[in-house]
Structure 1
Amino acid sequence: MVRSKDLSEAFRKKIVAAYESGKGFKKISKEFEINHSTVRKIVYKWRTFKTTANMPRSGRPSKFTPRADRKMLKEVSKTPIMSSRDLQQALATVDVKVHASTIRKRLHKFNFQGRCARRKPLLSKRNIKARLKFARENVDKEQDFCNNVL
């Protein structure tokens, strides 16, 4: 679920002022064109804490800033084979000091997964000669023959 943007403190003070003047939650919500449950939560917070300011949220704040995210994504799109250790050093220029596993988790959040390129065996000299011989023998054959071979 996506968290919506917070309402400004001045807007919340207007809601509290409207509540103190005797208006109900539904009238306030129609007047300010917001959900009545939002009005109720703002008023409850004002009654409990006597403030309309944002309270500190639970959990550790992220070390990644939007600027660091952009830098990381730019580096990865520029050089896709870059390791998380190299990214760690690149992000140090933006003052983000995090562990390599944190970088991998963050990249995973942006749908960048680490994959190794599949090893593809090279053709041997014998194989190359056999293919060339087959191609030269069948160069004048009809299209039906090629369709059957493929």
Structure 2
Amino acid sequence: MQTASTNICERMCNKSIYDISWLLNIPRSTVSGIITKWKQLGTTATQPQSGRPRKMTEWGQHMLKRTVRRSCQPSAESIAKDFQISCGLQINTTTVCRELHGMGFHGRAAASKPSITKCNAKHRMQWV
């Protein structure tokens, strides 16, 4: 596949978007997008990232997952403290909740299970 500058050169030679896409064997929408970007920005280079970069890296997510699995039912606040001690990265409790939710951990109440004593088992067997 050829570069965006080739598309622009073809456009400057008064070729249609259809002809350019046929010559370069790329979709018309791609050619049209490149030409529009050139007209608006004067370049086809990618623009800087918008927004703040993520605080958690893949390594941080891995360590957070290990911290959560190590203890049974910790709160987000205690997870953030443990994470700061083990990794040295200051992280907010809302960030912890967001990251854990993204990893598939959800805060849910445990199912209540009745304790089965000998007497309770006897009554259950009579009921059945």
TM-score by length of 2: 0.64
Deviation string 1:4-40 (CA, Å, 9 cap, x unpaired) is xxxxxx8333433333344322233344444322322
* From 39, 45, 48, the counterpart of 1:56: 48
Q: Distance in 1 between matches of 2:19 and 2:47?
A: 26
| Identical-pair percentage | 25
Other-structure match for 1:113: 106
Question: Aligned equivalents of 1:97 and 1:15: distance in 2?
Answer: 47
Partner of residue 5, structure 2: 13
- Runs of 4+ aligned structure 1 residues displaced above 6 Å come to none
- Structure 2: any 5+ residue segments left out of the alignment? none
2:60 is the alignment partner of 1:65: no
State which structure, 1 or 2, has the greater radius of gyration over its C-alpha atoms: 1
Aligned amino acid, residue 109 of structure 2: C
Q: Is the 8 A contact 1:15 1:28 kept in 2?
A: yes
The AA in structure 2 aligned to 1:98 is I
Question: Which residue, 6, 14, 30 being the options, matches 1:38?
Answer: 30
| Cα distance in 2 for residues equivalent to 1:63 and 1:19 | 42
Moved more, 44-53 or 75-84: 75-84
Name the Cα RMSD after superposition.
Answer: 3.5
In the comparison of the two structures, how many residue pairs are matched? 126
- Report how far residue 60 of structure 1 moved: 3.0
Q: Using a 3 Å threshold, how does the CA distance of structure 1 residues 104 and 43 change in structure 2: closer, same or farther?
A: same
Match of 2:121 in 1: 131
Matches within 5 A, 1:78-93: 79=71, 81-89=73-81, 91-92=83-84
- Give the TM-score taking structure 1 as reference length: 0.57
Gaps of 5+ in 1: 1-9, 136-145
Deviation at 1:100, TM superposition (A): 0.8
Correspondent of 1:99 among 92, 99, 103 = 92
Q: Is the 8 A contact 1:63 1:96 kept in 2?
A: no
For the 8 Å contact 2:67–2:83, the answer to whether it is kept is: no
Cα distance per residue 1:78-97 (max 9 Å; x no partner): 55634323432454455653
Return the letter of the residue paired with 2:102: K
